[in-house]
Amino acid sequence: MPHIDFKNDLPGIRSALAYSPETAAPLGVLAEILLRSDEGLTRAERELIATYVSYLNDCFYCHHSHGEIACIYLDGDREIIDQVRNDFSTADISEKLKGLLRIAGKVQQSGKAVTTDDVVHAKNSGATDKDIHDTVLIAAAFCMFNRYVDGLATTTPKDMSSYPLRAKQVAEKGYGNHIYTEKQPA
Amino acid sequence: MPHIDFKNDLPGIRSALAYSPETAAPLGVLAEILLRSDEGLTRAERELIATYVSYLNDCFYCHHSHGEIACIYLDGDREIIDQVRNDFSTADISEKLKGLLRIAGKVQQSGKAVTTDDVVHAKNSGATDKDIHDTVLIAAAFCMFNRYVDGLATTTPKDMSSYPLRAKQVAEKGYGNHIYTEKQPA
């Protein structure tokens, strides 16, 4: 049961966003830029970083939600998502993304855990300054989103078929206000 | 030395905000609402929660920056800030704020660390649902801001006299774009 009365029965972060539209607005803009920008990192890479950090933070709702969105951008290749969760160092992904996931994993622990060696390694694998900036901010933002979702004990849908349906809506329409106001397809 | 070339020599989060104005915009809006809303929690309470979480995350820049802003709202009473950092349970603050700081400290660890008992305790001390919502989101947001600042190894001003000067600007003008574009008074 949620820790506060959201005055709605939406699942996950949507209940908190609908409860507090004034903070939902900048959170939606931030998610839209960080996860759907086509400059530098691909949308699949951005969602994989979000999924990985949410997995490390043990946020069931976020890691399954963003895993399903990543899956859409990866043309349904669910195996890559499982590989990233289990051990990204052996996953079928670029060396650049491996370098960035290493940084994201450090950010999940603490900003101070990121070392010069982590950054040099990512740069040597092809990451630009902007890629590193975006990775650090995506990882940091999911340390916020995950805590927002679990710190208020929002409801986690147990029906796993709801996640891909929701992911399709987000992949098509993005992270605008409809994310909490629009009814999910049955 | 910062992990990336910010193309500016601003200190702390300001270097990252100036490097990435498109993400700086929603981050500024979020900070403005969370830290300067006059609905429910006071500005002093909001800044004390931000200071406490930044202290727990060992983010020197954030915890001193927000500590100085809290100090302004507390009419210069620096002792309360030291008390909150050292042991808020014995600080000269309301039972409600103690209950909320207990929740904020849990959020810093993990969203899942917040228990029903923590929430009931805060409510019994006078906290409303909105106070609890805002506390969880302030604490979660500072788990992001702190990681953004330290994960990119931004520059930390060593001259402690710069923090109160900067705090005065923020207390007067808020968290808009001027936060990284405007020159700090000498």
A180 in a domain, yes or no?
A: no
**Whether B148 contacts chain A with CB within 8 A:** yes
Average pLDDT over chain A reads 95
DSSP A31: H
Q: Which of A3, A5, A54 to mutate against chain B (most B CBs within 10 Å)?
A: A3
**Pair B155, B11: CB distance under 8 Å:** yes
Counted domains in chain B: 1
Cβ count within 10 A of residue A158: 8
CB < 8 Å from A in window 157-186 of B: none
Q: How far apart are CA A74 and CA A48, in angstroms?
A: 10
CB < 8 Å from A in window 2-21 of B: 3-5, 16, 19-20
User: pLDDT band at B186, cuts 50/70/90?
Assistant: very low
pLDDT digits 0-9 by tens, A151-181:
999 999 989 999 999 999 999 999 986 666 6
In this predicted structure, the answer to whether residue B179 has a pLDDT above a threshold of 90 is: no
Token pair of B82, please? 């030291």
Spell out the residues 6+ positions from residue A63 whose beta carbon is closer than 8 angstroms to its own: A51, A54, A55, A57, A85
In this predicted structure, the answer to whether residue B68 has a pLDDT above a threshold of 60 is: yes
Q: How far apart are CA B163 and CA B66, in angstroms?
A: 9
Contact check, Cβ <8 Å, A33/B16 = no
B36 in a domain, yes or no?
A: yes
Token pair of A145, please? 């989103």
| DSSP secondary structure, A51-67, as one string | HHHHHHTT-HHHHHHHH
B167 in a domain, yes or no?
A: yes
In this predicted structure, the answer to whether residue B182 has a pLDDT above a threshold of 80 is: no
Question: Looking at chain B, how many residues does it have?
Answer: 186
Q: Chain A contacts of B137, Cβ < 8 Å?
A: 16, 20, 23, 148
In this predicted structure, the answer to whether residue A24 has a pLDDT above a threshold of 80 is: yes
What local confidence, expressed as pLDDT, does residue A176 receive? 80
User: pLDDT band at B176, cuts 50/70/90?
Assistant: confident
**Pair A150, B39: CB distance under 8 Å:** no
At which residue do the structure tokens 């989103």 appear?
A145
A47 in a domain, yes or no?
A: yes
Global pTM exceeds 0.95:
yes
Q: Which residues form the domain of B76?
A: 12-175
| Minimal-distance CA residue of chain B relative to A112 | B150
In this predicted structure, the answer to whether residue A183 has a pLDDT above a threshold of 90 is: no
Name which of A52-61, A88-97, B59-68, B175-184 the model is least confident about.
Answer: B175-184
B109 in a domain, yes or no?
A: yes
Signed CA dihedral, A154, A159, A162, A163: sign only: positive
What local confidence, expressed as pLDDT, does residue A186 receive? 44
Token pair of A135, please? 């990775």
B7 in a domain, yes or no?
A: no
**Pair A151, B136: CB distance under 8 Å:** yes
CATH number of residue A63's parent domain:
1.20.1290.10
A40 in a domain, yes or no?
A: yes
Contact check, Cβ <8 Å, B152/A133 = yes
B3 in a domain, yes or no?
A: no
In this predicted structure, the answer to whether residue A121 has a pLDDT above a threshold of 70 is: yes
| Minimal-distance CA residue of chain A relative to B24 | A30
CB < 8 Å from B in window 109-128 of A: 110-112, 114, 116, 119
In this predicted structure, the answer to whether residue B97 has a pLDDT above a threshold of 70 is: yes
